[in-house]
């Protein structure tokens, strides 16, 4: 059955700038269903002109929004959260329509996105400063929290709702205003979320969104990078684009939050509960068909339990149901675009050419459509393979056998990335030793589902910097102003 919306007005096809839904002045961009390639709708293919209008509106609105009492900002954000939850069926459907993830996951993403909105509505009222004991008599010293200013949020296609929510909600909570550009492949969920923010009472100019094609995106973002009024860039996406944003924002010294690519290790020690480890790996690896930056990319299994673990895993992976979001039984959807499937195929072919063996899957599923790839388990993977050094971003599990703890820690850390890492062990001494040794912003110990609004999400090394969620996620949108009052008489 085709996916449809109850409230069709949530399917938006214009930019939202200065409180107005504006037609494209130039060309338009097709938004398609990744399962079939069918056109869903068209949105503006914006350029520098629209980007500048959005920045202008956000700059003008900042003067008043920053002065709105925190409690009032919190109430508006809370209303946004309520509206998002009230429309979770339609929003989840939109996610699945444009991104391809199974409907249950699409709706789950909306609940996940709302958890960030609710969290930051509550945090808005807790931006406490400090009173500092003065080292000199007669002075009073304070550390005051202030909003950074206009924020540019650039978001990826893999979580079109959650990534918008966890960037925009803290910005609004802090008193910042926002210009946003969603990914070319998935602009519709973000437009619907902005529509609900408008309905919740976010004032004109405070939140602006412009859509653009992959070709025009650099023009839009460059306009913001060059604009000294834009004080912060918050970005989730690939490491090369993150580095580009860091370099290009240097001239105006913007604050940056970069949540970039990962290459997560998942380690199964011989003392682990193997069934729990298989379940944890299934949850972590196959979320969104493997298209998640915290998905395990390299799986290391200790020699003694390797064969038992791989058999158990293969049985679970073989049973996964692949299909379109419109089929309620689907567990893995299509990949986002042709480039994504090509990369996954290249990784599997390279691994096999270098000696890996396919235990399950191993190729495309043309009978379902051009964007489907079979959930795959490879054994005999090693560090020379492309899948060990690049993020596959697809449903492929390469298993590598290891002997010692020291060897596996060295292998796990042998990457420029450091976003998430997972391991399974029931030895309490090993648990803390390994957690300390892993070079990673996030560590899952006997746990595959690590994301939560109350947790600081982010990486080290070339996985970026800044944290999203938790109290740290608000801090990234604030400056600390030191105020010193001298003797009054």
Ligand X SMILES: NC(=O)C1=CN([C@@H]2O[C@H](COP(=O)(O)OP(=O)(O)OC[C@H]3O[C@@H](n4cnc5c(N)ncnc54)[C@H](OP(=O)(O)O)[C@@H]3O)[C@@H](O)[C@H]2O)C=CC1
Active centre residues (catalytic): 259
Between residues 294 and 409, which has the closer beta carbon with respect to ligand GUA? Answer: 294
CB of 242 to ligand X, least distance (A): 7
198 and 9 Cβ atoms separated by less than 8 Å: no
How far is it, in rounded angstroms, from Cα 260 to Cα 166? 15
- Residue 170 backbone dihedrals phi, psi, to 5 degrees: -65, -35
What does 326 interact with, of ligand GUA, ligand X, none (CB < 5 to 8 A by kind)?
A: none
Regarding 98 and contact with ligand X (CB under 6 A), the answer is no
Site stretch for ligand X (CB under 6 A), options 130-138, 145-153, 193-201, 253-261: 253-261
Between residues 88 and 158, which has the closer beta carbon with respect to ligand GUA? Answer: 158
CB of 472 to ligand X, least distance (A): 18
CB of 166 to ligand GUA, least distance (A): 7
CB of 268 to ligand GUA, least distance (A): 21
Neighbouring residues of 449: CB distance < 8 A, sequence distance ≥ 6: 280, 283, 284
Taking CB under 6 A as the rule, which mask of x and - marks residues 161-200 in contact with ligand GUA? -x--------------------------------------
Cross-strand pairs, 319: none
Regarding 481 and contact with ligand X (CB under 6 A), the answer is no
In this structure, how many other beta carbons lie within 10 angstroms of the beta carbon of residue 329? 8
Site stretch for ligand GUA (CB under 6 A), options 70-78, 197-205, 292-300, 472-480: 292-300
How far is it, in rounded angstroms, from Cα 133 to Cα 136? 9
Regarding 155 and contact with ligand X (CB under 6 A), the answer is yes
Question: 149: alpha, beta or left, given left = phi > 0 and alpha = psi -120 to 50?
Answer: left
Let me know the angle formed at the C-alpha of 438 by 434 and 378, rounded to the nearest 5 degrees: 95
Site stretch for ligand GUA (CB under 6 A), options 71-79, 158-166, 215-223, 241-249: 158-166
In this structure, how many other beta carbons lie within 10 angstroms of the beta carbon of residue 21? 14
**Tokens 């060990």, residue?**
388
CB of 181 to ligand X, least distance (A): 6
Site stretch for ligand GUA (CB under 6 A), options 79-87, 98-106, 156-164, 357-365: 156-164
Regarding 223 and contact with ligand X (CB under 6 A), the answer is no
Regarding 335 and contact with ligand GUA (CB under 6 A), the answer is no
Site stretch for ligand X (CB under 6 A), options 15-23, 86-94, 96-104, 176-184: 176-184
Q: Identify which of 400, 412, 422, 424 has the alpha carbon closest to the alpha carbon of residue 461.
A: 412
Between residues 158 and 330, which has the closer beta carbon with respect to ligand X? Answer: 158
Neighbouring residues of 349: CB distance < 8 A, sequence distance ≥ 6: none
Burial, 223: exposed, middle or buried (Cβ in 10 Å; 0-12, 13-18, 19+)? buried
Regarding 244 and contact with ligand X (CB under 6 A), the answer is yes
In this structure, how many other beta carbons lie within 10 angstroms of the beta carbon of residue 317? 24
Strands 296-302 and 396-402: parallel
Regarding 297 and contact with ligand X (CB under 6 A), the answer is no
In this structure, how many other beta carbons lie within 10 angstroms of the beta carbon of residue 334? 28
Give the one residue of 106, 149, 237, 466 binding ligand X; rule: CB under 6 A.
Answer: 237
Regarding 417 and contact with ligand X (CB under 6 A), the answer is no
Regarding 218 and contact with ligand X (CB under 6 A), the answer is yes
What does 451 interact with, of ligand GUA, ligand X, none (CB < 5 to 8 A by kind)?
A: ligand GUA
How far is it, in rounded angstroms, from Cα 168 to Cα 25? 26
Cross-strand pairs, 259: 236, 464
Site stretch for ligand X (CB under 6 A), options 50-58, 107-115, 235-243, 421-429: 235-243
What DSSP designation does 202 have?
Answer: P
Q: Identify which of 256, 262, 294 has the alpha carbon closest to the alpha carbon of residue 418.
A: 262
Regarding 236 and contact with ligand GUA (CB under 6 A), the answer is yes
Regarding 292 and contact with ligand GUA (CB under 6 A), the answer is yes
Give the one residue of 227, 391, 453, 475 binding ligand X; rule: CB under 6 A.
Answer: 391
How far is it, in rounded angstroms, from Cα 20 to Cα 207? 11
Q: Map residue 235 onto helix, strand or coil.
A: strand
Residue whose C-beta lies closest to ligand X: 237
How far is it, in rounded angstroms, from Cα 390 to Cα 374? 19
Regarding 154 and contact with ligand GUA (CB under 6 A), the answer is no
Regarding 476 and contact with ligand X (CB under 6 A), the answer is no
Between residues 169 and 221, which has the closer beta carbon with respect to ligand X? Answer: 221
Give the one residue of 209, 293, 295, 322 binding ligand X; rule: CB under 6 A.
Answer: 293
Q: Identify which of 363, 365, 362 has the alpha carbon closest to the alpha carbon of residue 333.
A: 365
How far is it, in rounded angstroms, from Cα 298 to Cα 37? 31
Regarding 217 and contact with ligand X (CB under 6 A), the answer is yes
CB of 318 to ligand GUA, least distance (A): 26
Distance of CA 31 to the CA centre of its chain: 20
Applying CB under 6 A, the site for ligand GUA has a residue count of 10
Applying CB under 6 A, which residues contact ligand GUA?
A: 158-159, 162, 236, 259, 292-294, 451, 457
Applying CB under 6 A, which residues contact ligand X?
A: 154-158, 181, 183-184, 212, 214, 217-218, 221, 236-238, 241, 244, 259-261, 293, 391, 393
């Amino acid at each position: 059955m085709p996916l449809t919306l109850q409230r069709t007005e949530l399917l938006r096809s214009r930019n939202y700038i200065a409180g107005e839904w504006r037609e494209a002045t130039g060309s338009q961009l097709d938004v398609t269903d990744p399962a079939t390639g069918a056109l869903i709708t068209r949105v503006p293919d914006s350029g520098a002109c629209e980007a500048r209008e959005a920045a202008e509106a956000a700059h003008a609105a900042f003067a008043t929004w920053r002065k709105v009492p925190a409690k009032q900002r919190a109430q508006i954000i809370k209303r946004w959260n309520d509206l998002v939850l009230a429309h979770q069926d339609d929003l989840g459907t939109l996610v699945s329509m444009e991104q391809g993830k199974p409907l249950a996951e699409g709706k789950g993403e909306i609940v996940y996105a709302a958890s960030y909105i609710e969290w930051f509505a509550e945090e808005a009222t807790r931006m406490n400063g400090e009173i500092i004991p003065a080292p000199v008599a007669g002075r009073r010293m304070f550390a005051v929290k202030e909003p950074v200013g206009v924020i540019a949020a650039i978001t990826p296609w893999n979580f079109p709702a959650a990534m918008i929510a966890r960037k925009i909600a803290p910005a609004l909570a802090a008193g910042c205003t926002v210009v946003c550009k969603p990914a070319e492949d998935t602009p519709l969920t973000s437009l619907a979320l902005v529509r609900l923010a408008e309905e919740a009472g976010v004032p004109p100019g405070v939140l602006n969104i412009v859509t653009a094609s992959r070709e025009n995106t650099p023009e839009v973002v460059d306009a913001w990078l060059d604009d000294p009024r834009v004080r912060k860039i918050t970005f989730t996406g690939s490491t090369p684009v993150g580095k580009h944003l860091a370099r290009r924002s240097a001239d105006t010294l913007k604050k940056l939050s970069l949540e970039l690519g990962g290459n997560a290790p998942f380690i199964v020690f011989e003392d682990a509960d193997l069934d729990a480890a298989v379940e944890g790996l299934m949850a972590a690896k196959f979320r969104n068909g493997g298209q998640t930056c915290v998905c395990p990319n390299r799986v290391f299994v200790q020699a003694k339990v390797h064969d038992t673990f791989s058999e158990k895993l293969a049985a679970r992976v073989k049973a996964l149901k692949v299909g379109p979001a419109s089929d309620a039984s689907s567990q893995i959807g299509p990949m986002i675009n042709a480039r994504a499937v090509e990369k996954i195929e290249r990784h599997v072919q390279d691994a096999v050419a270098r000696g890996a063996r396919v235990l399950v899957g191993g190729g495309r599923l043309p009978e379902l459509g051009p964007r489907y790839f079979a959930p795959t388990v490879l054994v005999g993977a090693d560090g020379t393979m492309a899948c060990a050094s690049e993020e596959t971003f697809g449903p492929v599990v390469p298993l590598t056998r290891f002997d010692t703890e020291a060897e596996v820690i060295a292998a796990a850390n042998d990457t420029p990335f450091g976003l998430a890492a997972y391991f399974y062990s029931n030895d309490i001494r090993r648990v803390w030793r390994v957690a300390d040794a892993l070079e990673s912003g996030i560590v899952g110990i006997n746990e595959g589902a690590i994301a939560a609004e109350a947790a600081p999400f982010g990486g080290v090394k070339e996985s970026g910097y800044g944290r999203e969620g938790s109290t740290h996620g608000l801090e990234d949108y604030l400056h600390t102003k030191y105020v010193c009052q001298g003797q009054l008489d």
